[in-house]
Amino acid sequence: MTENLFARLGVYQDDSACSAAMNMAIDEALLEYATFPSIRFYRWHCPALSFGYFGRFSDVADHASARDVVRRWTGGGIVFHGDDLTYSIVIPVSDAVCNESSMSLYEKIHRALVNAFNGIGKRAVVAGGVDFRGIAAAMRTAVSASGYNCFANPVRADVMIDSRKIAGSAQRRTRRGLLQQGSIQGVELENGLAERFAEELSTNCEPRSLPKAVHCRAREIAARKYATDAWLRKR
Catalytic positions are 150
Helix (H, G, I), strand (E, B) or coil at 230: helix
What is the distance between the alpha carbons of residues 17 and 46, in angstroms, rounded to a whole number?
8
Gap between the Cα atoms of 71 and 210, Å rounded:
23
Alpha carbon distances (Å) from 65 to 43, 60, 193? 20, 10, 32
Q: What are phi and psi of 16, to 5 degrees?
A: -85, 110
CA distances in angstroms from 189 to 1, 41, 46, 162, 192, listed in the order given: 24, 12, 18, 16, 8
Q: What angle do CA 130, 124, 154 make, to 5 degrees?
A: 65
Cβ-contact 146, 153 below 8 angstroms:
no
